[in-house]
Chain A
Amino acid sequence: MIIEKLSKHYDGKKVLNSVSFEIPKKSVISMIGPNGAGKSTVLNIISRLMAQDEGVVNFEGKNIKKYKSNELSKRLAILTQTNNVQMKLTVRELVSFGRFPYSGNRLTEEDKKMVDKAISYMELNDFEDRFIDELSGGQRQRAYIAMVIAQNTEYVMLDEPTNNLDIYHATNMMKIVRKLCDELGKTVILVLHEINYAAFYSDYICAMKNGQIAKFGTVKEVINKETLSEIYNVDFEILEIQGKPLSIYY
């Protein structure tokens, strides 16, 4: 996936200014940066939820706008923060929606198997008949991820998946993200606020500031004192733990 010169305005204000980068396949890419840097906007554009003003998103050799919506939904999945639905659906019903792009209104036997697999993979068997609005935040988040697994796409995009989760569930979520990439071979693109989660669990980091890419590279290339201090305007100190950079800010 190649992103070329994306620009976007809101009410005359430029929120994205000529953003270009390339997403390496089968890796975890985290987007970090201060509020209003344009991280979520980029994610929404590359997942076709939002239209850009200028620029092109090249998805597997073809402009993303040229794809049929249904075709894309078999190759690219996105979970946004607004997915906190109050609808009373059971976990199984929600996960089954992941098969919708393939089979529409009639689930085949194969679809059912995929749904079963996704539910077991996320260890949701005990909850599969519970309504999602009865679950805790962490369980609900896992149910949504199970839906994305059932959707069986090469690309998975998550907008702040650790938002509103405690340390235990947030860490679990990041481990799941890692598994999506390592075990299921997906390309995962995340928007994250916690720099240390990004540093510990990603392969690449895309740091944004003021609607532009401040730095894109491997974790070691981006997570260093100079880059982070410049992006966040806060003093940073970088320690090394288990071979990964740990940042401390004050």
Chain B
Amino acid sequence: MTGDIYQIELFFISRLPRLLAILCTGFGMSVAGLIMQQLCMNKFVSPTTGATISSAQFGILIALLFMPASTIWTRAIFAFVFSILGTIIFVSFVQKIQFKDVVMVPLVGIMFNNIIGGVTNYIAYKYEMTQALSSWLVGHFSSVIRGRYEIVYMVLPLIIIAFIFSNHFNIVGMGKDFSKNLGVNYNLVLFCGLAISAMITGSIVVVVGSISYIGLIVPNIVTMFKGDKIRGTLIDTALFGALFVLICDIIGRVIILPYELPIELIIGVLGSILFIIMLFYRLNNGRKAIALKIGGKCSCSQ
């Protein structure tokens, strides 16, 4: 790039925005997943297995439908509102039913996801908008250029807010009675936490589209090693998430050079494999086995 104006321009218009978008996506999706998991006391809840991503997509479709000339900001607001609504409906549903088996929660979430996705697809077909919508259904970074991605920076202040209130989220995750004992307003904090996760997800979906599994897998891997205290894991989770997305992006770009595979495809493949491994591991060993192995202490009397 020695003095080559064209190269420098390319760098600032496309390369740098792409890198920043990747980082923000990695930070955002993994932190959103972390918060949702802690608040719901369930390791299988995430923007993918909750209804957050599909609700955000539905919101974008509604924005495209009723306001065809809408800017990315209007679409983002629609995505926020719908993803918050969808997440809260899902969480209140899950809390009301109180499943005996924790694995039921993501299953219900995936069903709920598919219902919303089905409605989205139906409406998109009916109004011949499938093509316009496809950009948000499959996440990819190839359309990230200057002027069209800045909304993804929204995740940074939201993550900072999440960090400040991390102890509140932890306490709410310990249950309703526990929160009340410590003078924490359970419903308010639960709502705010879910809203933050949903807004993070919404601002990513509106720029790069659906990025699944990161919010599920990254927090799980980090908490296995570092415990559930959000203060201590939030930064690690964010960095690990960014690394994960970055690696997936590189794989997507080199695998069929000179063409590019959408990142959602790579993450989908890698993520679903990891998810299945994690599922089996949790089912066979429970949480305790992981803790003992990492801690290296086996004096547990249970």
A interface residue numbers (CB < 8 A to B): 47-49, 68-74, 77-80, 82-83, 85-90, 93, 97-98, 100-101, 104-105, 130-131, 133-137, 151
Contacts and interface: CB of A to CB of B under 8 A. Distances in A.
A134 B290 CA distance: 10
A98 B175 CA distance: 15
Given A49-B180, A100-B182, A133-B291, A105 B166 contact: yes
Contacts of A71: 183
A78 B180 CA distance: 9
A73 B300 CA distance: 33
Interface string B243-276: 0000000000000000000000000000000000
B96 interface: no
A88 B291 contact: yes
Nearest to B42: A86
B283 to A, nearest CB: 15
A130 B295 contact: yes
Nearest to B294: A131
Contacts of A104: 167
Interface of B: 41, 164-168, 170-171, 173-175, 177-178, 180-185, 223, 227-229, 287-288, 291-292, 295, 297, 300-302
Given A73-B182, A97-B182, 20 more contacts: A69-B184, A69-B185, A73-B181, A78-B177, A85-B174, A86-B41, A87-B170, A87-B173, A87-B228, A88-B227, A90-B227, A93-B227, A93-B229, A101-B182, A104-B167, A105-B166, A131-B295, A135-B300, A136-B301, A151-B181
B175 A82 contact: yes
21 contacts: A48-B180, A49-B181, A68-B183, A71-B183, A77-B181, A78-B181, A83-B177, A85-B41, A86-B41, A86-B287, A88-B223, A88-B228, A89-B227, A97-B182, A100-B182, A105-B167, A130-B295, A131-B227, A133-B288, A134-B297, A136-B301
A105 B184 contact: no
B101 to A, nearest CB: 14
Contacts of A136: 300-302
Contacts, number: 92
A105 B164 CA distance: 7
Contacts of A86: 41, 287
Nearest to A80: B177
Nearest to A93: B229
A130 B292 CA distance: 10
A93 B167 CA distance: 10
Contacts of A83: 174-175, 177-178
B297 A101 contact: no
Contacts of B295: 130-131, 134
Contacts of A90: 227, 229
